[in-house]
Amino acid sequence: MIAAIKDIIKNSNHIAVLTGAGVSTASGIPDFRSSEGLWTAERSREELMSSAFFHENPEEFWHYYKSIFKLKLLQNYGPNQVHRFLNELEYGRERVDIVTQNVDGLHTAAGNGNVIEYHGTLKTASCPVCGTTFSLEKVIEETIPYCSCGNILKPDVVLFGDMIRFHEEAENLVKKADLTLVLGTSLSVMPFNMLPMVATGTKILINNYPTDKDYMFDYCIHDDLSEVIEKLKA
């Protein structure tokens, strides 16, 4: 199967890549859903990381947000072999588009030119009133980050209850691609998990365990993502 997939990738001119937390784990970044010691029976992660909770109690929200995402450590992470492989795919092709659920910014750091951060980014925060955007450094420095206009900043990740801004754009990309390559995601989060359904080209899934959406794909590999990528590069 590896040989067949290598041949498909080699002959694909426009590749759409959908990525999830499994792409970043090799960089040492855990899936925030697996965070321990931060959830209680009274408050689920969905509540704590919701737009409603931010607007109701922004000070408390920022306490949980910084703990969950460990923002101070974010600057210590870098792209891994999966990110670099996707960057190398761009050479000599018409187009490679990355649509990622990850909010760590590592696809852009690896040099990919066309990246849609489907769930936003940890790298910045913006004022919900005047719209001014600030860097991660300011967010880290201040316990509760404020805008110069006096309002508390809102992180630029998509919180529970927020609208997904780029779904239609992502759909258009997978519809046009010769190949849709899905890496390191369980495809359990809507509406991201609906993107493979509208893809018209060959569809390949590589994840470390089966998903409920395996039936959508022409090829599925259930194995360690980094190890599979090394085989595809060989």
Report how far Cα 145 is from the mean position of its chain's Cα atoms: 24
Which residues in the chain land under pLDDT 70? 30-43, 71-75, 234
Q: Which CATH architecture has domain 1-29+79-119+163-234?
A: 3-Layer(aba) Sandwich (3.40)
> What string of H, E and C letters represents the secondary structure of the chain?
CHHHHHHHHHCCCEEEEEECHHHHHHHCCCCHHHCCCCCCCCCCHHHHCEHHHHHHCHHHHHHHHHHHHCHHHHCCCCCCHHHHHHHHCCCCCCEEEEEECCCCCHHHHCCCCCEEECCEEEEEEECCCCCCEEEHHHHHHCCCCECCCCCECEEEECCECCCCCCHHHHHHHHHHCCEEEEECCCCCCCCHHHHHHHCCCEEEEEECCCCCCHHHCCEEEECCHHHHHHHHHC
Q: Which CATH number is associated with domain 32-76+122-157?
A: 3.30.1600.10
Catalytic residue from among 55, 119, 167, 222: 119
Indicate left, alpha or beta for 68 from its phi (over 0: left) and psi (-120 to 50: alpha).
Answer: alpha
What pLDDT was estimated at residue 27? 84
What pLDDT was estimated at residue 40? 47
What pLDDT was estimated at residue 47? 86
**In this structure, are residues 34 and 4 in contact, taking their beta carbons and an 8 Å threshold?**
no
Count of Cβ atoms closer than 10 Å to residue 82 Cβ: 27
**In this structure, are residues 34 and 191 in contact, taking their beta carbons and an 8 Å threshold?**
no
What pLDDT was estimated at residue 74? 66
What pLDDT was estimated at residue 41? 45
The binding site for Zn(2+) comprises 127, 130, 147, 149
User: What are the residue ranges spanned by the domains of the chain?
Assistant: 1-29+79-119+163-234, 32-76+122-157
What pLDDT was estimated at residue 38? 44
What pLDDT was estimated at residue 145? 95
Question: Catalytic residue at 119?
Answer: yes
What pLDDT was estimated at residue 234? 67
The binding site comprises 127, 130, 147, 149
**In this structure, are residues 153 and 140 in contact, taking their beta carbons and an 8 Å threshold?**
no
What pLDDT was estimated at residue 100? 97
